[in-house]
Chain A
């Protein structure tokens, strides 16, 4: 079975995950097509972050199937390194490497992991830093950058691996309000370039603007989903309605 772009790029079917006794995901299914931007929203502790961390095998699952470009992730034999070359990830706490400059952070993985030519990688890395609007900060260490700047370096670092899909795990949740905008703008640019993005977010206005599809999760299941317009204006489920009324 070979995967084509007509098939979903990421496909979850009946995914179950628990940490010991605690059930976090209770049968989640969703499909993401190439170029799609999907947003997963929901109350804290509803399993959103766990959900996307399962896609690049940072968390394993107990039951169900996760296909990334037709390849099963829930398989002990899966080559996790190959999978992670295709699936980028950006974290809430940025997780930049503090002993490396912004440029080195972006360059390191392509050089060390993909074994690409250093000169070419540097060219690409400088272009990416420019793309996330951080020109001039190439030689700054993460400690010298603001939260928003660090997060944009983290996005550039992820892009440098040329992934097919990027996971964003509440990437603006730890930021000062005034720097949230610059990070969201960067993600918006990516979405417009056609990058497949899966976002966990609390930024409703942003989700409404950029998402092709919204998923609302609560207690480990997807309660409701749909395109942003119908989702925000025409929520059916009482849990969704209650959540939206608290947030909006």
Chain B
């Protein structure tokens, strides 16, 4: 904001602030750095002499853990893509003129939106077969695929609500103008309503993605070899040294933070940008 005036007025006081890095102020960076330094130091102090330092152990395992983390990202992206596709259809079902479609879409949405994610994950894990028989071909149905399906269920329900909410948030005048110009309902939806909704849907949709990414670690409970599972296995194979817990789980936390924090910042930025226009 700029204040320009020739009048002898007192300008509002403004505290000097340094340009934040990705919205992080120096004190935040300091905190993260402290955690990153103190954790290993404490661990090092606890380490009995004659053994490899915890940091060195972590470095040995880091490539594997990173691979696990990338698997988490693959699960999150796939579940998001699948959940968004089905959820968008469900959301449009919720605004259908056909009462049966509208009511059943509403029920499915509410059912999966009000279910704990972990329960849905178990549900998918133990109710889906481990392989499907199609024309004599056996298509395997591995755990990670089940995890993707299980996690895409709550995504689907939340996307459905995002779509419905965005459509409802448009002024009714847009529908009326389209109607009076003889657009069919489908044309109105695809040419006029939905293009305007994309902007409104993007911030909550990205928020949902960020939450989903953090929820992918739930897959470790049902045995998928993602980052948490691998971390547990790495710790076990190092003989369960307690001083390794902090650096290893700290490392996993850091990975998620580095990935999810920029998404959160970008969402805030989008929200601000569109708030000004609307």
Contacts and interface: CB of A to CB of B under 8 A. Distances in A.
A84 interface: yes
A99 to B, nearest CB: 5
A88 B183 contact: no
Contacts of B34: none
B237 interface: no
Q: Is the interface of B mostly helix, strand, loop or mixed?
A: helix
B192 interface: yes
A58 B176 contact: yes
Given A81-B182, A109-B182, A157-B181, A95 B173 contact: yes
A84 B182 contact: yes
Interface residues of B, number: 17
Q: How large is the interface on A (under 10, 10 to 19, 20 to 34, 35 or more residues)?
A: 20 to 34
Contact of B176 (A81, A85, A95): A95
Contacts of A161: 181-182
Nearest to B181: A109
A58 B173 CA distance: 11
Given A97-B192, A143-B277, A112 B183 contact: yes
B191 to A, nearest CB: 6
B177 A97 contact: yes
Interface in B252-278: 277
B273 to A, nearest CB: 14
30 contacts: A58-B176, A58-B179, A80-B179, A80-B182, A81-B182, A82-B182, A84-B181, A87-B180, A88-B180, A89-B180, A91-B173, A91-B177, A91-B180, A93-B171, A95-B171, A95-B174, A95-B177, A97-B177, A97-B192, A97-B196, A108-B191, A109-B181, A112-B183, A112-B187, A113-B182, A143-B277, A154-B177, A157-B181, A158-B181, A161-B182
Q: Which 9 A-B pairs have the closest CB atoms?
A: A95-B177, A95-B173, A89-B180, A84-B182, A109-B181, A81-B182, A85-B182, A113-B182, A93-B173
Interface of A: 56, 58, 80-82, 84-85, 87-89, 91, 93, 95-99, 108-109, 112-113, 143, 154, 157-158, 161
